[in-house]
Amino acid sequence: MALRIVVIVGASMAGGRAAETLRAEGFDGRIVLVGAEPDRPYERPPLSKELLRGELPSERVFLRPAEFYAEQQIETRYGIRAIGLDPDARVVELESGERIGYDALLIATGASPRRLQVPGTELEGIYYLRTLRDAERLRAALQAASRVVVVGAGFIGAEVAASARQMGLEVVLLEALAAPLLRVLGADVGHYYAQFHREQGVDVRLNAPVAGFRGQGRVEAVVLGDDQEVPCDLAVVGVGVVPEVAWLAGSGVALDNGVLADEWCRTNRPGVYAAGDVANWWHPRLGERLRVEHYDNAQNQGVAAARSILGRGEPYAPVPFFWSDQYDLTLQYVGHASHWDTTCRRGRPEDRSFIIFYLHQGRIRAALGVNRFKDVSAARRLIEAGVVVEPERLADESVELRRLLPR
């Protein structure tokens, strides 16, 4: 089938990078970029950091200047949701009533914050953070508040807690589990992070699941599982995200924890591709499915999907990468370790510069660095090369990591 029209649903990092890649690769057909949000594609990382603290204006987060899309002849539909897909007729239906035919469709609808299902969530003053507009509203609320409770010590919660503290608020950080970031990073790193936040004056409470919110019209306190109350002017909830797939119900596109895709970003329906937070794709080198909710993947999988649409794709098998900035700590994680049998550490947390390696059967699966840039670069290459290495050598600071690479 000739490729004349590519429709991208999701004016996101993945969708935006896909659109610009199609043009950069010489595609001269029609490109339609559809987004539920009112804005053109932007970077989300600053939303919980510089932008939230008022250090970065909103104009600085966009991937491209506003005129870029017109110059590149990329048609845009912002502030309009896709509500249906007919893969047999190859038509996407928008909430505006418009129906757009496609030769190739990229699903890049991302994910939405998981909502807490507890009493009191209808009260005012309870915030979630996903979009630029969410961040602008939360920024204004934080600027007017003196005490905030953050529910969930994952990356978003921890970054919001750090930013709020830097803005001078009293901050209580609640985590339902025994340590922040427990599932991804393990208990040791979680405890370091709890400690880092406490040193900055955050009241970190672990094993503290939320039972509800209390207030008269407006939240006045977060109620914990043991009926203890934590008073607040506002609450921010960061308890994960769920892939945005409701609009695909009944379309026949295979769904399971997102949109199922292969290493070419292809779904089970012809001409339909998926990329970014919404895609649960087969990673050929790892030999497992991954759904990654981070910037680097959204960007690179968007590019990979565009090339695949043009018939110039390669199997998408990256070493996953994400980072988180909290206070003066830059955390960087490379690789993917859903399980590991050994960890080892180079450097000391008390020096605020260390890297932890997660190994399985002798191979480095992932590494987490804090203020440890060169070692993270080296770790990425060691993971890529599938090097088998003794943990003692990884931990030994007298051994330069990149010397462990095969020559």
Partner 1 sequence: MATGSGQEGFVDVAAAADVYDDEPYGVKVNGQRVVLCKVDGQLYAVGGLCSHQYAELDEGELRGCVLMCPLHNSGFDVRTGQAIQLPATQPIPTYAVRVENGRVLVSLHPVTPG
Q: Does 106 bind partner 1 (CB under 8 A)?
A: no
Site track for partner 1 across 305-334, x = CB under 8 A: ----------------x-x------x----
DSSP class per residue in 90-106: TEEEETTS-EEE-SEEE
Total residues at the site for partner 1 (CB under 8 A)? 17
For residues 281 and 292, give the distance between their C-alpha atoms in angstroms, rounded to a whole number: 9
Q: Is there a contact between 286 and 338 (Cβ–Cβ < 8 Å)?
A: no
Return the C-alpha torsion angle 158, 17, 309, 109, nearest 10: 40
Query: 388: Cβ–Cβ under 8 A, 6 or more apart, which residues?
Result: 362, 363
Q: Does 179 bind partner 1 (CB under 8 A)?
A: no
Q: Does 210 bind partner 1 (CB under 8 A)?
A: no
Q: Does 135 bind partner 1 (CB under 8 A)?
A: no
For the bound state, the minimum distance from the C-beta of residue 389 to partner 1, rounded and expressed in Å, comes to: 19
Q: Does 299 bind partner 1 (CB under 8 A)?
A: yes
Query: 392: Cβ–Cβ under 8 A, 6 or more apart, which residues?
Result: 344
Q: Does 373 bind partner 1 (CB under 8 A)?
A: yes
Nearest alpha carbon to residue 274 among 249, 297, 295:
297
Q: Does 377 bind partner 1 (CB under 8 A)?
A: yes
Give the interface segment with partner 1, choosing from 98-106, 141-149, 293-301, 357-365 (CB under 8 A).
293-301
Q: Does 394 bind partner 1 (CB under 8 A)?
A: no
For residues 116 and 44, give the distance between their C-alpha atoms in angstroms, rounded to a whole number: 22
Q: Measured in whole angstroms, how far is the alpha carbon of residue 90 from the centre of its chain? A: 29
Q: Does 17 bind partner 1 (CB under 8 A)?
A: yes
Tokens of 139: 């920024």
The residue written with tokens 């000391």 in the block is: 348
Query: 49: Cβ–Cβ under 8 A, 6 or more apart, which residues?
Result: 159, 162, 163, 325
Using a 10 angstrom Cβ sphere, with 0-12 exposed, 13-18 middle and 19 or more buried, the burial of residue 322 is: middle
Q: Does 303 bind partner 1 (CB under 8 A)?
A: yes
Q: Does 340 bind partner 1 (CB under 8 A)?
A: no
Tokens of 25: 């690769």
Tokens of 207: 């094993």
Residue closer to partner 1 by CB (options 106, 230) is 106
Q: Does 109 bind partner 1 (CB under 8 A)?
A: no
Nearest alpha carbon to residue 389 among 361, 356, 348:
361
Q: Does 300 bind partner 1 (CB under 8 A)?
A: yes
Q: Does 155 bind partner 1 (CB under 8 A)?
A: no
Give the interface segment with partner 1, choosing from 215-223, 246-254, 276-284, 370-378 (CB under 8 A).
370-378
| 29-48 residues near partner 1, rule: CB under 8 A | 43
For the bound state, the minimum distance from the C-beta of residue 299 to partner 1, rounded and expressed in Å, comes to: 5
Give the interface segment with partner 1, choosing from 108-116, 136-144, 343-351, 368-376 (CB under 8 A).
368-376
- What is the rounded end-to-end Cα distance, in angstroms, of the chain? 45
Residue closer to partner 1 by CB (options 103, 384) is 384
Site track for partner 1 across 54-83, x = CB under 8 A: ---------xx-------------------
Binding region for partner 1 (CB under 8 A): 17, 43, 63-64, 295-296, 299-300, 303, 321, 323, 330, 373-374, 376-378
